[in-house]
Amino acid sequence: MTELLENYRKNKPAIVLTVLIAVTIFSAFMASGFQTSFGQVDVSLVQITDANGLRIVGKLYKPVGVDAANPAPGILGMHGFNNDKDVQRPAALELARAGFVVISVDYAGHGDSQSGYTTDSSPSSYALMYEFLMNLTFVQGNNTGIYGHSAGNIRAVILAGLYPQHRALALQSFVPESYAAYGSYGDPKYHNILHLWAAWEEWGSEGRGPSQVLAESLVVIDNTYHLTPGTAAVDTNLNLWGGPADFANGSARRHAYDLGTHPYITMSPKHTSEIVAWMLQALQGMSYSEAWAIADVSNQIWVGTEVFGLIACFCTMLAILPLAYLLLNTKFFGEVKQKMPERIQTTKGSTWWIAATINVVICGYTYWYFTSGYGNSGAAKNWLFDVKIGDLSVFPFGVANGFAVWFLLNAILMVVLWSTWYLLTRWRKGRDSISLYDMGLTFSKKEELEGLSLPKKLFTAFNPRIIAKTALLAFILFAFMYASVYWSAQFLNIEFRGFWAFMKPFHGVKRAVYFWPYFGIVLFFALFNAGVFMYGQLRMKEYKNTYVTHAVWWVKYMYLMLGGLIACIAIQYGPQMFFDQPVASTADPTWIYGSTTRMMVVQLMGAIPLLALIYFICINLYRQTGRIYLSSIMFAVILVWFQMTALAAHV
């Protein structure tokens, strides 16, 4: 037993790496199994081109047994702004399991499709994909439906107006008066409308709390469908002209309500069931009871794909830690592994917390007020769009620009604050009290540089050979993650993600090229804010063992680096969820950036968990190398990779 334990300790990194790889592979196969309903649904990517020859991609879900001789109704699913086709996977999969052929499309500038969000000209990418769906030999071309979320919701209404042969429309998001304002509920050209909305909907509820929005929405429903005032007909099949719902003439209407926020609607089990039941009644002629027996929440399996996709993502990211350890213990990479500086600058606990809280306030304030621009025109205009080489925008990704401005601003502020602190410390406590070596920046202590010329000092302190090997090591770690998800995407049609896009391959050269300018900005932030500030100025002590130390560091650094962002979420949604007040960013209708700030706060729902995992990984990489470089590079690589493959390109 003693020998076994000794062998385990000796080979623990290799064992952990092997286990993580095995779990990743298992999770990828399980995610694929759930996505295909374990052989009941054929899932594949489809690709068409627009008038300019640019790629439009969709994911096709086809029930096994459906073919030209046995066609099925077809449904087009459309995601919201800054999402992609797999965000609509829950409804797409459950609809396919109920007997429909479904295509979930990446419209222009999103996901795997080319072109830009603002350059999607007529005929639009989603209209072309709808025509493609209707023309499939195994689809009943005149028996189709459409569902869409957020921006996809708006496009679904546009599409339904262009194609009167649609048989049903499911609109995921916004509040009822948003549609009543332009007449879609009451317009008979829109057939069999199902509207799904959330209690904490951010769009359309400006200046009002949830209870007021609900009360006013019920009045809109009563008035639109000629109901007795106070009927409060939510989750009830209605008819445009009053009386029982009539799917045959397209006048059926329904409004479904659930707890949650705007982004949650696509992953709401209740709303997924609503879409399936609605389409079964509208396109397959089932009765209400027959449709709901199939659509019942207890029958859903889509969450398995999302959970196992997340496990694959997390395990792949964590696997780079034992891989880095094994590589750092080779002869070639050995010199990258340095001893951590021992000197702690902030020895007093209260001083650490004061400095951390100041950073929390700065991070939260700058995110709330300085990331509001994520578009290339109007109130949401972001100045990064104007950075061009000729006519080519260097920064064409809207929400990524919002994040980039925040990273850049915080990095500049940190350079000023950290430099001031560093110089004042040397002046007050003496030149020997602190050094760049203590900050994790240089590879040599002061005494090791004595007697050397200035060029030799710089070469020795900032050893280019070690930095080059660090960059090579970072490339290997990235290549490992990329190869893992590339294999899964190619052979299993599964990206490593859950609910939103995280780890996916680059599709096309454009996004890979644009990686680099964003990488430069985030690396700047990582070197100073998540580098010399975290591990130098606010370096913490060691605890009884490595595991406890890592855990304590991670928890405290989460407060330091993510506290301000978490505060933005709390300030935005706290009044709405707990005090029946409007979301904070739109409480003042005179603030022109209220709407755009709302969009950037929504992004934090996915960004905060991702950043928490990245910081966990980077703390370990810093502790393994004793310097900030590998940690900083991997912070920027992972974050920008995920952004460039997931976020919307405006042009």
129-144 pLDDT, tens digit each: 999 999 999 999 889 9
Rounded mean pLDDT of 269-294? 96
Domain with CATH 3.40.50.1820 in the chain: 38-300
Rounded mean pLDDT of 437-449? 85
Query: What's the number of CA atoms in the CB half-sphere (13 Å) around residue 272?
Result: 26
Digit-coded pLDDT (tens) for 340-359: 888 887 767 788 999 999 99
Higher pLDDT, 110 or 279: 279
Nearest to 112 by CA among 54, 27, 62, 155: 54
Neighbours of 409 (CB within 10 A): 16
With tokens 């060691």, the residue in question is 542
pLDDT at 376: 65
pLDDT at 203: 83
d(CA 647, CA 399): 7
635 and 614 Cβ atoms separated by less than 8 Å: yes
Domain boundaries 38-300, corresponding CATH code: 3.40.50.1820
Rounded to 5 degrees, φ, ψ at 113 are -85, 155
Say what percent of the chain tops pLDDT 90.
55
Stated pTM of the model: 0.93
pLDDT at 88: 94
* Average pLDDT of the residues of the chain: 89
Query: Does position 4 have pLDDT exceeding 70, yes or no?
Result: no
**pLDDT band for position 430 (50/70/90)?**
confident
Lowest mean per-residue pLDDT among 130-144, 229-243, 308-322, 330-344: 229-243
d(CA 181, CA 220): 10
66 and 138 Cβ atoms separated by less than 8 Å: yes
Digit-coded pLDDT (tens) for 199-225: 898 888 878 888 998 888 888 888 877
pLDDT at 182: 47
Which DSSP symbol is given to 531?
I
Rounded mean pLDDT of 227-251? 81
Q: Long-range CB contacts (< 8 A, 24+ apart) of 637-641? A: 637/474, 637/478, 637/519, 638/317, 638/478, 638/481, 638/614, 639/522, 639/610, 639/611, 639/614, 640/515, 640/518, 640/519, 640/522, 641/478, 641/482, 641/503, 641/515
Rounded mean pLDDT of 308-326? 96
Lowest mean per-residue pLDDT among 328-342, 581-595, 620-634: 581-595
Higher pLDDT, 508 or 549: 549
pLDDT at 8: 59
**pLDDT band for position 594 (50/70/90)?**
low
Rounded mean pLDDT of 602-629? 94
**pLDDT band for position 507 (50/70/90)?**
confident
Q: Find residue 613's DSSP bridge partners.
A: none
Digit-coded pLDDT (tens) for 125-180: 888 999 999 999 999 988 999 999 988 988 899 899 999 999 999 999 888 876 65
Q: Find residue 78's DSSP bridge partners.
A: 105, 148
Alpha helices in 79-205 (DSSP H): 89-97, 125-134, 151-162, 176-180
Neighbours of 40 (CB within 10 A): 12
Pairing outcome for strands 252-261 and 238-239: antiparallel
pLDDT at 342: 83
